[in-house]
Each structure stands twice: as C-alpha cells, then as structure tokens.
Structure 1
Amino acid sequence: MTCQRNEPEPSIDILKAASHPDPYPAYRQLLAGPDPVFDPASGLWIVTRGATVLDALRHPDLRVRPPVEPVPRALVGSPVGELFGHLVRQNDGPARHDAPKASLQRALAAVPLDDAARRTARVMAASLDLDDWHLEVPVRSVADLLGFPAEDHAAVAGWVRDVVAAFAPGGDLTAGSAAARTLMERFDGFLARAAEGLVARVAAEPWEDGAALRANLAGLLVQTFEATAALLGNTVVALARGGDGSDLPGLVDQVMRLDAPVQNTRRFAAAPLRLGEADLPQGAAVLLVLAAAGHDPAFDAERNPLGFGWGPHACPGAALARSIVVGALSERMRHRAGWPATWRYKPLVNARLPLFAAGGQW
C-alpha cells in the first residue's frame, strides 16, 4: 500500500489484510495517520477511525454501489446478476433499500432466538464430522429456518456457495446462475404453500415484486454463508487462544469488536463531499475498515459494534447470527473437546474467515 502521507507505510496490502495472520498492528498504524488517506495503488480512500467510519456509513452521498454500475458488469443479464441486483444490501434509496430492509427486519425480529438456537444445535449435532463444519452449520441453520428439509441442507449450502463464488470477480457464472435459478424455484414452491414460519413472515411484508422477495429470501442464505461463518470461525480462534468458553455470548461480542467477521466494506461517492480530513471527488471509491475502527482507542466499539456494519446498511440478521454462533458452539462443546491448533485465512477482501485443518486434527 502506497499512501499519500509522511508517516511510515504499514507493511500490509490493505486489500489482503482480512486474510493476514495479524492485520491489527497495521490497522493501528493507519489509525495514527490522517483519516481518510488516499491509496494510489488501489485507487481507494482508506477510512479507519471509528467516528469517520460512522459518518461515512450514514452519509447520503456514499452509496453501496457505483451509481454507474449497480450490478457488476460481468453479472448483467444472468440469473445470478438478477439476484444480486435485488439484494437489499446492494441497493440504496427508499424503494430498493429502506422499505425492503424494514420488511426483513420485521420478519427477522419475529423469529424466536431460542428456536433458532435449538435448530442450530440440531444441525450442529448432524455436522460434527464435517471438516468445514463452521462454514456449513450457519447456512444449514438458516436453511432449516426457511423450511428446507434436513436431507436438502447440504445441497442448499452448495447452491449458496456457488452463488457467492459467482459474485466475486472471475467467479463461475455458469455454476452461480444454475444455483440462483434452483434457489428461486425452490422459494417459488415455498411461497406457494407457506402458511407459517420465516418464509411466510417475510412474504407477509410489503415487497416491490416477487423477484425482489425471492432474491432477498436467498439473500438470507447468501449473507450467512461467509459473514456468520466468519463470526463462528473467529470465535473458535478466540477459544483456541484461551478465550472464556463459559461465557459464549460475551466472547462472541468481544470477537465482533476485536476480530470482526466483516473487516471492511466499500462506499462510492455520488457527489463531491467532505469526509473526515479530506475532500472526496464525485466517483471516489472508499474502503471503510470496520475492523480498524474496533481498535480505535477514541471510539466506543461496545456501543457501536461494527462487525456486521452499522447504520442504514447494518445487517438486519445480526442478532440471529449471534444466536447461531452461540448455539453451534454450545452444542459442539457438548460433543467435542478441544479446539484447533492451526488455521489459515481464506483469501477474501472483506470477510475474515479462518479455515481449519482437515481430517479431524483438533
């Protein structure tokens, strides 16, 4: 990273920081410098201080997608691109973000968290022997909440994996589109007969059209796949390092602050604006380093947890994700003793997702 400033540069590539074994010294070094700071190598304005991050997350002229490219060009015209374009978290404005997000929030708020934890425990008990259980259990738990039978959980996780992979640059568009079509067809069937449960609650809310409804039902699975899995995996890392397993809710909250599952998120300037110590031009791309803000001594990260975002675009399923993580770990601790000795991180730009040794080497 080559920044326009006089302080020593951090010895880390900001776009690879989420998968670095320990990015936090570099984040703290960035916190000591100007905020935001422009990085010519990536073309991004880097924001690290908690107060500036909050200002950016609620700024009306900082959008989640470039105004000229609401859907990534590579996805346009494909089923996976259509799904992407309807997702609440990829949109701004009253019609495409505010109203559908409120629908999701109301539906998710009606989910009893104790029921979600029980379902997660059942899914965890059936997944004990999976090498990648921390990747599978969250998405299988949400699939269960949505009404997929247990025999379909593995297939659902595979479809979601293909959709998420297709979203990434260079992803397999053919596999992602096939998975997106399958998920939409399955949700069509659920919607035709759902009388109760989470699908029925979501469907009872106002939606622009059926495509937006189906896409955001799938979005509950997509968001779970990496973000909740990252929170689960990072809590496992904390336990492996001696974290207090007798207070799992407290440990999960600590991990959210200090080893955030979502390390950064981007925003795009729809107009010239002032942010922190800099004037940003229209079209500027901004990287909000949420994980650095959690280490900002001038920021109250307990009152403003940023691990799943904050403000208008905060994840509406954060409480559910936390419940899934606590439920999964509680059940695993009933059946398995000990935690992994080694791990590495999946090379992702945004999420910090540990991968553990295969073959039961725990």
Structure 2
Amino acid sequence: MTTTATEPTTEPTTEPATEPTTALTTAHATATGFTERYLLSPAVNADPYGYLDALRDHDPVYWSPLHRAWLVTGHDPLMRCLRDPAVSAERVRPLMDAVPEGAREDAERAFTILSRWMVFNDPPEHRRLRQVFQDQFAARAIGRYRGLVERAARAMLDRRAAPGGAGDLVADIARPLPALVFARWLGVPPAHGPSFWYWNARVGDLVLGAAQEEREYRTSLQSLCNLEDYLADLVRQRRAEPKDDLISAVLAGGRIGTSVSEEEFVGMLTQMAFAGGETTSNLIANTVLALLRNPEELAAVRDDPGLVPAAVEETMRCDGPSKMSIRTAARDLDLDGRPVRAGDRLFLVTAAANRDPARFPDPDRFSVRRGSGSPSHLGFGFGPHFCIGAALARLVAVSAVEVLVRERPGLALGDEPLAWQLSLLNRALTALPVRY
C-alpha cells in the first residue's frame, strides 16, 4: 500500500503488442549482432531481464527507432539523467496528445488536474508542492501506523487465506491490504471505498496507458474529475471537522492557502490516491514470488524474520514494481557522447540499471543477504523525485511478507502459469496462484 510507493511515470502507447520490424532495425541487427525488440511484446513483458541485459551490454544509451526514444539502461548514465535538470519530468502534454479526438472535449479539466501532480513537475515547482507532504511521509510519522498495518495483514490472512487452501495472493492480500491501509491513512470512509478505488483504477488506465479506445478514455477522464470532486469535498469536511488522517494533518500545517493553493492540494491528493495502492501491491506480490522461487532465501527469512526488510529491498532491486520512468529533454544535452536533442524522450530503465554488473555483483541473483553495505538500488528513484511514499510502501510490504512467511509455513506456488500485466512501466502480476 503505498501512498505513493512510486511516482507514476508513463505515457500511453498505441503501438501493437507485437514486435514491429523495419529496414532500419533489421540492418542494425545485421551490422552489430544485436536485434532490438519491442518492450511491449508479450515475451519481453513477461520476462524482460535477459533482453534488458543484452541491450545494456550493447549500448547503455541507445536510440530506439521502435520506441522513438533513448533507452537508458546503464546505472551511471541513468543516474546522470536523474541529476540533470535538463532531463525534465514534465510530460502532461504527451499524455493529452494520445487522447482520441472524440474524447478531447472531456480532457481539459482532467489534464489541468494532472498538471498539479508533483511527479509531473520539475524543481522548483516540484519542491514547493512536495514540501506540503514531507513531514507526513517521514519515516517517524509513518511508523505509528505499524500496529494498524500488522493487525490488518493478520486479519486479512485469517479471513482470506486458510492454511492448506489455494488462492490468489494478489486478490487475497497484495491488492486489498494496501488499499485498506491507504484509505484509512487518507481518511476515506469504508463506505466510500468501492467508488474511490474504481475511480483510481480508471485513472491508472489513463496514466499508465491502458486506455486505448475513445470510450475508455472518456471513462478515465471522467473518473479523474470524479476523484477530484470527491477529495475536494473531503478537504472541506476536514477543515470543518479535523480527524486523525493525512488531510487533516496537512491542513493543520498551515501551508494550504499560502505556499500551495487549495486547488493544487486537491490535485496532489488525486496523485496520492492513484499511487496509493498499485506500487505496494506489486511489491508485495513480487517479493513473495521471489522468495517462493528461491527456497534457500525463503528458509533464511523464516529462520530470521529480521531479514524480511532486506528481502523487500532486494525485490526492489531485482524485480521491482516499476520497470522505468519516462522523461523529456528540456534542452540539448550530451549523454555519454550521445547527442540528445530538446524534446527527445528518454526511457530511464531502472529495471536494467538495478542489474548493472558494473554496480551490483552477481546482479541477477536474488539474495536477502546482500546487506546494507551494498550499493543502493534505484527502485524508489533518486534525487528530487525520490519516491515520497517509500517509507509507507516499505512498512506495508514488510508487514505483509512477514505475516505471510511466519504464519503460513506451507506457502508454495500454485501450478497455474503466471501472467504479467502488459505495461511499459509497471511490473505487475495479474494473479499469483499459491497454496497457503
């Protein structure tokens, strides 16, 4: 459950989920021995790491004719992009350009809301917006929710995952636990949960590129507006009657109406709402999958539950919930000798950088004993856009995994094949069949 476990960063794609071929890519493959592949082809989407390793080895800063973007896969050049102010996070315009003509009349308000998301802003605007939430996302503030999260995880496990039974860990635990915790933290009453999470899912379709048809775009755009209306009303209620939740705490800080307008605050709350469950859900599922695929590591965690946080961090490095983020060059720049031009898109492929052997020894091995002395992964980003919700994501994921491995000693993978959501950015299982 993250309250922003990661910053959503993607653009819709209308390209087919097959591998386009062109004379350019064929000639390139013949000349160098490397064949570029489409990142949304089902095979690469299901298991991207072998291809990403080959791409990074071939060229860590590669111009992709297929994706019309620079694919940055090396750890060092990716870090330079995250540090360079010429590499901009502003990309609302490309999102809007993808909307079908017939749905444009609904889009103006929705994209005004998106323009207030701090993830789509560069410093100093990003810093001004982020400071409003900084204290509430600090580890010390998040830590007071530990008991709530552990109790919720245990109750959910007892209710949905009977020992010896079969189930889907995504539907049983990984998705509903972050949603429950985040709604409580934000202050959304349980009775409003179904509408709240429906709107969030449809906003995800828009921001993560799942919306393709005009009808889907209309639904997503209207859902974002509905979400803003709902949260604006919740802010008004908390002004009149504060409670123990995020909105009340931020209002009490005195920044709303001074350094940040109320419209900006509500707009940022829609970002928090959208990011609140997706990334942490994926982190829980991917961590459990990694442990079940590596029995020695699972045994180590069972013997020493103090290793659960290390397992979550290793998942963030090795198979995290986000594969990449998308940036745009604000001006011409040189990146490892490559002439990046103003307006060029850059795909910052953290999934490849986190397995760069120049940075991480034995990078393809999942090990819960890598230790705190190992280099830091980029799963939560870096610099100004480091995930503001990292502490909450870690808290929920660690609690869920710890309860699972401690209280379900028979936990094992089911027999059904795994399927991954088709996504340029997210690394998300559609289901995780298990035996409890």
Same fold (TM over 0.5): yes
Inter-CA distance 294–238: structure 2 relative to 1 (3 Å threshold): same
TM-score of the superposed pair, with normalisation by structure 2:
0.74
CA distance in 2, matches of 1:265, 1:276: 19
Matched, 1:286 2:286: no
Inter-CA distance 229–105: structure 2 relative to 1 (3 Å threshold): same
Aligned to 1:202: 250
Inter-CA distance 215–126: structure 2 relative to 1 (3 Å threshold): farther
- Verify the 8 A CA contact 2:332 2:340 in the aligned structure 1: yes
Aligned to 1:81: 111
CA distance in 1, matches of 2:152, 2:342: 47
- Verify the 8 A CA contact 1:147 1:197 in the aligned structure 2: yes
CA distance in 2, matches of 1:19, 1:141: 33
Secondary structure in structure 2 of the residue aligned to 1:120: helix
Aligned to 1:104: 133
The correspondence of residues 167-246 of structure 1 with structure 2, limited to 5 A, is 167=207, 168=209, 169-170=211-212, 171=217, 172=219, 173-194=221-242, 196-203=244-251, 204=253, 206=255, 207-241=259-293, 242=295, 243-244=297-298, 245-246=301-302
TM-score of the superposed pair, with normalisation by structure 1:
0.88
Unaligned runs of 5+ in 1: none
Question: Which of the numbers 124, 128, 145 marks the counterpart of 1:94?
Answer: 124
Cα displacement string for residues 77-99 of structure 1 (whole angstroms, at most 9, x for unaligned residues): 4554333111111111313x111
Inter-CA distance 100–305: structure 2 relative to 1 (3 Å threshold): same
Q: Which shifted more, 291-300 or 114-123?
A: 114-123
Inter-CA distance 110–321: structure 2 relative to 1 (3 Å threshold): closer
Once the 2 structures are TM-superposed, how far is the Cα of residue 19 of structure 1 from its aligned partner? Answer: 6.9
Once the 2 structures are TM-superposed, how far is the Cα of residue 136 of structure 1 from its aligned partner? Answer: 2.5
Aligned to 2:4: none
- Verify the 8 A CA contact 2:329 2:342 in the aligned structure 1: yes
The correspondence of residues 127-206 of structure 1 with structure 2, limited to 5 A, is 127-128=156-157, 129=160, 131=168, 132=171, 133-167=173-207, 168=209, 169-170=211-212, 171=217, 172=219, 173-194=221-242, 196-203=244-251, 204=253, 206=255
Once the 2 structures are TM-superposed, how far is the Cα of residue 314 of structure 1 from its aligned partner? Answer: 1.3
- Verify the 8 A CA contact 2:318 2:355 in the aligned structure 1: yes
Question: Which of the numbers 413, 419, 432 marks the counterpart of 1:340?
Answer: 413
Once the 2 structures are TM-superposed, how far is the Cα of residue 70 of structure 1 from its aligned partner? Answer: 7.3
Cα displacement string for residues 27-74 of structure 1 (whole angstroms, at most 9, x for unaligned residues): 11112122311111110111000000000011111111248x276243
Over aligned residues, Cα RMSD in angstroms? 2.8
The correspondence of residues 341-360 of structure 1 with structure 2, limited to 5 A, is 341=414, 342-356=417-431
Unaligned runs of 5+ in 2: 1-18, 20-24, 162-167, 364-373
Q: Give the % identical residues.
A: 24
- Verify the 8 A CA contact 2:96 2:107 in the aligned structure 1: no
- Verify the 8 A CA contact 1:261 1:308 in the aligned structure 2: no
For this pair of structures, how many residues does the alignment match? Answer: 359
Inter-CA distance 53–110: structure 2 relative to 1 (3 Å threshold): closer
- Verify the 8 A CA contact 2:350 2:378 in the aligned structure 1: yes
CA distance in 1, matches of 2:435, 2:117: 38
